[in-house]
Amino acid sequence: MQRFSALALIRHAFGGHRSWRPQWRAAEPKAAYDAVIVGGGGHGLATAYYLATEFGISNVAVLEKGWIGGGNTGRNTTIIRSNYLFDESAALYDHAVKLWEGLSQALNYNVMFSQRGVMMLAHNVHDQQSLQRHIHANRLNGVDNEWLSARQAKAFCPPLNIEKSMRYPVTGAALQRRGGVARHDAVAWGYARAADAMGVDIIENCAVTAIRRGVGGAVEAVETTRGTIETRKIGVVAAGNTSTVMAMADLRMPLESYPLQALVSEPVKPIFPCVVMSNTIHAYISQSDKGELVIGAGTDAYVSYTQRGALHVPMHTLEAICELFPIFRRLRMLRNWGGIVDVTPDRSPIIGKTPVAGLYVNCGWGTGGFKATPGSGHLFAWTLAKDEPHPINAPFRLDRFRDGYLIDEAAAAAVAH
């Protein structure tokens, strides 16, 4: 039996500054599985969990080339919200928010989901009109979102500067109170432990290097750095690397990969009560339970597979943060990092079947897929199990880029987020 120190028990009980990394088996790959998931991020692990719990398919392997959660799942700024413009997107992301609301109970593990509110700032008439359009569209879809004046925004988030002398003064804000944050690696760990308990094999340090196809082109196996694994169903959830994995099955994807960066400040006492985003001056910020201010930057302007990004990008973000929150000017940066995000032309994900029998893909979440993790896993598991999409993910099919039925959140938001 595992022994806990008193301090560790206290931290565990209060979800304290280090949540306890749970244990799962270090599985050895078997020769064959009913389904193989390529990518051990939150989406891949959630897919395996729902395959086992909702569809009774537990002879599943999750293959991860590094360590689970070491991709974008462990690198993002954890903003969770469902205030998207189009009906299809609102349904998709709100499905996820509803699952977030019961996730710690379902996994019996504290993912530290905190619905502290996501506030999106307006700085000009165009922002106001765009955010108010989102508010109306969201309400029609049963998604909460409300308009705040600049004064109300400051009351909700006291460190916010609403002086008119700012270069881009705050003119109001849209607030989704059900939005918030969660602890990112806890999500990967929680799904991993629960999937493992159902019999799923989680295999780290195992990169997929080829996809083997048989009669009629259907998939029959993956080649990996740990040997050949036979399977009739492959779900690719390899954010940032989707194009290279899908090329193994001769499929060209409508994706570009960009570095996206984030950083944290030194830890301070609780000062920041919510999440604030400004698309116009490009800054987003919240405070983690460890006390660090979590700040995200934009994508680099050119495609790349580096997990770092150019230094001037976060520097611009910090200028914006210091103008919005002058009290943070003297804080020091603790660390910064980057991830690689897969971006589609309409900035909406692809979740579904492919022209190759037995090959399914879940990708293109770009800068915004963490919030979708439970919903994405649930819908992808449905698609793999039934060989057809769930009504919520049906519009997010790959061939929309051929027939033009786009879900153009890029045009709706006019920015990457």
- Residues lying near ligand PYC in the complex (CB under 6 A) are found at 77, 79, 81, 284, 296, 367-368, 371, 417
Q: Which of 63, 173, 192, 195 binds ligand FAD (CB under 6 A)?
A: 63
In terms of CB distance, is 33 or 365 closer to ligand PYC? 365
Counted residue by residue, the chain has a size of 417
286 binds ligand FAD (CB under 6 A): no
Assign 3-class secondary structure to the chain.
Answer: CCCCCHHHHHHHHCCCCCCCCCCCCCCCCCCECCEEEECCCHHHHHHHHHHHHHHCCCCEEEECCCCCCCCHHHCCCCCECCCCCCHHHHHHHHHHHHHHHCHHHHHCCCCCCECCCEEEEECCHHHHHHHHHHHHHHHHCCCCCEEECHHHHHHHCCCCCCCCCCCCCCCEEEEECCCEECCHHHHHHHHHHHHHHCCCEEECCCCEEEEEECHHHCEEEEEECCEEEECCCEEECCCCCHHHHHHCCCCCCCCEEEEEEEEEECCCCCCCCCEEEECCCCEEEEECCCCCEEEEEEECCCCCCCCCCCCHHHHHHHHHHHHHCHHHCCCCEEEEEEEEEEECCCCCCEEEECCCCCEEEEECCCCCCHHHHHHHHHHHHHHHHHCCCCCCCHHHCCCHHHHCCCCCHHHHHCCCC
Q: Which of 110, 141, 261, 278 binds ligand FAD (CB under 6 A)?
A: 261
Single-letter amino acid code for the residue at 239: A
The one of ligand PYC, ligand FAD, none whose footprint includes residue 73, by CB under 5 to 8 A per kind, is ligand FAD
347 binds ligand FAD (CB under 6 A): no
The one of ligand FAD, ligand PYC, none whose footprint includes residue 239, by CB under 5 to 8 A per kind, is ligand FAD
What is the smallest separation between the CB atom of 376 and ligand FAD, expressed in angstroms? 7
Q: Which of 280, 367, 383, 393 binds ligand FAD (CB under 6 A)?
A: 367
Q: Which of 117, 190, 369, 375 binds ligand FAD (CB under 6 A)?
A: 369
In terms of CB distance, is 64 or 196 closer to ligand FAD? 64
In terms of CB distance, is 150 or 175 closer to ligand FAD? 175
Site string for ligand FAD, 90-129 (x = CB under 6 A): ----------------------------------------
What is the smallest separation between the CB atom of 175 and ligand FAD, expressed in angstroms? 17
Site for ligand FAD in 195-214 (CB under 6 A): 207-208
Q: Which of 47, 89, 241, 348 binds ligand FAD (CB under 6 A)?
A: 241
In terms of CB distance, is 115 or 228 closer to ligand PYC? 115
Q: Which of 97, 195, 262, 264 binds ligand FAD (CB under 6 A)?
A: 262
Stretch that binds ligand FAD, among 17-25, 75-83, 112-120, 171-179 (CB under 6 A): 75-83
How many chain residues bind ligand FAD (CB under 6 A)?
40
What span, in angstroms and rounded, lies between the C-alpha atoms of 50 and 42? 12
Q: Which of 19, 53, 58, 73 binds ligand FAD (CB under 6 A)?
A: 73
What is the smallest separation between the CB atom of 367 and ligand PYC, expressed in angstroms? 4
341 binds ligand FAD (CB under 6 A): yes
What is the smallest separation between the CB atom of 181 and ligand PYC, expressed in angstroms? 10
Across 323-342, b (16+ Cβ under 10 Å) vs e yields bbbeebeebeeeebebbbbb
Of the chain, the end-to-end C-alpha distance in Å amounts to: 45
* Residues at the contact surface with ligand FAD, assessed by CB under 6 A: 38-44, 63-66, 70-73, 75-79, 207-208, 237-241, 245, 260-262, 296, 339, 341, 365, 367-371
